[in-house]
Copies of this chain bind each other. A is one copy, B any other.
Amino acid sequence: MTLETPPGYAPLSEATLPAFLAAVPALANRLGGTPADWRVNEVGDGNLNLVFLVEGPGHDGRTAGLCVKQSLPYLRLVGEGWPLDLNRAWFEQRAMALHAAGAAGRAPALLHYDPALYAIVMERLSPHVILRRGLVQGIRYPKLAEHVSDYLAGTLYATSDLALPASKKRPLVAAFTANDALCRLTEDVIFTQPYMKHPHNRWTSPQLDATAEAVRTDTAWKLAASRLKLKFMASPEALIHGDLHTGSIMVTETDTRVIDPEFAFFGPMGFDVGAIIGNLLLNYLSQDGHATEEHPRDAYQDWVLATVEELWTLFRAKFLHLWRTSGEGDAYPAALFAGPEGTACLETERRTYLDRLFTDALGFAGAKITRRILGLAHNMDLETIADPDLRALCETRCLALARSLMVETGRYPTIKSVTEAARHVRRTVTAVGPVDRRGLGWDAL
């Protein structure tokens, strides 16, 4: 460890974790037995942190588990050369607590936080798997859209100016502005670096070399990315998760939990909604790299797009329902909109609000797709396609869709038009090469 860390901080290990847990009676009781009985595995395969799963004998013959997530003082994906604020653990546990109020049961339960070790202890999810892995394997999750829309509508509405009085929201906004390091990371690696020459960028080479170069001179695309960046920086609409891709969701066929809100801050709601939609669209277009004659993926791809449609449709309905039936926010004071005319007017305004949120989400979805192909962090959806030519073709389709969502955002009136565009791109983009700057060719759609 060459990086300086605060007094009292040290990375936990499989060897030191039992003593840490034993010192917190509620955790020790939950695991049962004695520390010697506890099995610990470090499983952090993510980009940023240490993650330990702990199993104890529990009580009544049923084993009990915990998950411990600890910040490292650098970006694990890159190494110690990229220091990263330990405080992200504080923001994560705070967001977990605030989000639990809006979307109970859609995230692991928060059990303990140790501020000196920057360590969060939470419910261990079992037998959950990371959604992205399941999607790459072609597994269906029939409750996914239902549950993720619960999470999105619940967390975003509850922390917005629609539900929260301004005097309660302002101190929360202030607290999360300190999550500067992770906001900056998003600003850099999502909205800036993929559109310029940067040592962090990589792509399927040489297949996408010309594509990446063309993006760097595509002024309309760069302008769209910059507008989205400004929206990201200065739209404190709600406490957003900030990193809601398919790797931040754990699933079984009947349960869905959102994890890892360490990027949380008060930002545009469309960023979360767009993140999950963008990652599902990317997965849809990656399936052609995984399909075989024995195991075609066409029907599965239909399911992925149906899930995108359902997710948005349910989110919209649930958000509207919450707004109609609850909230003490200072925006649109109820007293001003009593009576039939006021009620009708406010309902129109709600729909306008959601239409604007939809447009934001599509732009962000495009930005999230682009960065996974040209930027620092890539997705296993595409990375596990062994044939680089086939992978590059899938990626070219992704980029064509992403650019259209960002540059031609106004062309998408409904979620159906988005899934149709995804199908269109899959059908019509048949060769690797720079993305057509004339857009998707809507006349043919």
Contacts and interface: CB of A to CB of B under 8 A. Distances in A.
A337 B221 CA distance: 11
A341 interface: yes
Q: How many copies of the chain does the oligomer comprise?
A: 2
Contacts of A33: none
Q: Which 9 A-B pairs have the closest CB atoms?
A: A174-B177, A174-B174, A230-B331, A170-B177, A219-B345, A222-B336, A226-B332, A219-B341, A167-B180
Nearest to A195: B336
A123 to B, nearest CB: 31
A237 interface: yes
A84 interface: no
Interface in A324-349: 330-333, 335-337, 341-342, 345-346, 349
Interface string A217-244: 1011011011101100111110000000
Interface size grouping (class) on chain A: 35 or more
B192 A229 contact: no
A187 interface: yes
Contacts of A161: 230, 233-234
Contacts of A237: 234
Interface string A153-182: 000000001000011011101110110100
A441 to B, nearest CB: 23
Nearest to A225: B336
A226 B336 contact: yes
A234 B235 contact: yes
A235 B237 CA distance: 9
A235 B230 CA distance: 11
A330 B229 contact: yes
A183 interface: yes
A234 to B, nearest CB: 5
